[in-house]
């Protein structure tokens, strides 16, 4: 192939402008490729402004019962002095009698509860028996699932725990021991206790102290939970 020199100044000027535009286009393509590579290396600089939805979702993903911007770990545990403790929704079902222990935040600040409360049953003669930590109950249809939920209580809110016991004597026994007439209750953490009646109006009895076939007490409590997770 042979090249022909261009002697016309106007033609040379047009050719020069064409080469300049082609060079500019090539420079732009190179700079675009470099910018894309920079975004790949520093994703937060390029991607965060184009995907605000991800940041909003993370900020709003707070546990139930917790105010946005806080976590259960930053809230103090509920203590006995700020709680009102009572027993509600009593009755008998499928061989068990019991009710729901209600822990109401009567203070001015929020607090949190988790794990098992400490409950002791007292008979009329004063015999004290520590109720065991149950893993499931027929009454209340509760079943423990790890990890135990953390329930954050605003002032006026309540958390719950099932308290239940077998209401029939074990095989080989003709009757159960004397029932519990009082319950000494402490929230998780053991910050003091209150004593309440163990009367179960829905079952027309006190909390039974029936034992299992091996002689161990059947009465126990669930871990702290919410009322919405229990039939009521």
41/89 same-domain check: no
- Asked if pLDDT for residue 1 goes beyond 80, the answer is no
DSSP H helices, the chain, are: 9-41, 43-47, 52-60
pLDDT at 103 > cutoff 90 = yes
177 occurs within a structural domain: yes
Give the span between the Cα atoms of 218 and 162, in whole angstroms: 13
Distance CA(44)–CA(39), nearest Å, equals 8
Q: The whole model's pTM is what? A: 0.69
pLDDT of residue 191: 87
Overall domain count for the chain: 2
Q: Which residue has the higher pLDDT, 125 or 191?
A: 125
pLDDT over 80 at 23, yes or no: no
Strand partners, 122: 128, 182
Rounded mean pLDDT, 46-58? 28
Say how far apart CA 210 and CA 166 lie, in whole Å.
6
Pair 189, 95 in one domain: yes
Q: How many CB atoms lie within 10 A of CB 117?
A: 24
CB 100 within 8 A of CB 160: yes
Question: Does 92 lie in the same domain as 197?
Answer: yes
Q: Is 67 within the bounds of a domain?
A: no
Query: What rounded mean pLDDT belongs to the chain?
Result: 78
| Listed range (152-156, 181-185, 189-193) with the worst mean pLDDT | 189-193
Torsion over CA: 18, 20, 24, 30 (sign): positive
Domain that holds residue 85: 78-229
pLDDT reading at 25 higher than 70: no
User: 127: cis peptide before it, omega within 30°?
Assistant: no
- Tell me: do 91 and 142 sit in the same domain: yes
| 150: CB partners within 8 A, 6+ apart | 63, 72, 112, 113, 114
């Amino acid at each position: 192939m042979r090249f022909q020199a261009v002697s016309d100044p106007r033609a040379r000027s047009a050719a020069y402008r064409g080469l300049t535009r082609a060079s500019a286009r090539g420079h732009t393509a190179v700079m675009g490729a470099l910018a894309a590579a920079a975004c790949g290396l520093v994703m937060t600089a390029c991607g965060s402004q184009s995907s605000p939805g991800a940041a909003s979702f993370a900020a709003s993903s707070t546990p139930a019962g917790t105010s946005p911007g806080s976590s259960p770990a930053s809230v103090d545990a509920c203590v006995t002095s700020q709680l009102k403790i009572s027993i509600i929704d009593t009755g008998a079902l499928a061989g068990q009698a019991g009710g729901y222990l209600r822990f109401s935040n009567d203070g001015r600040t929020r607090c949190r509860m988790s794990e098992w409360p400490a409950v002791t049953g007292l008979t009329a003669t004063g015999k004290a028996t520590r109720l065991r930590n149950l893993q499931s109950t027929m009454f209340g249809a509760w079943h423990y699932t790890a990890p135990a939920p953390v329930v954050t209580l605003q002032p006026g809110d309540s958390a719950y725990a099932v308290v239940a016991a077998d209401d029939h004597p074990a095989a080989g026994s003709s009757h159960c021991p004397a029932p519990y007439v009082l319950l000494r209750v402490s929230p998780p953490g053991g910050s003091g206790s209150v004593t309440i009646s163990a009367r179960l109006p829905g079952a027309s009895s006190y909390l039974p102290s029936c034992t299992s076939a091996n002689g161990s007490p059947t009465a126990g409590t669930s871990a702290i939970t919410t009322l919405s997770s229990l039939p009521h």
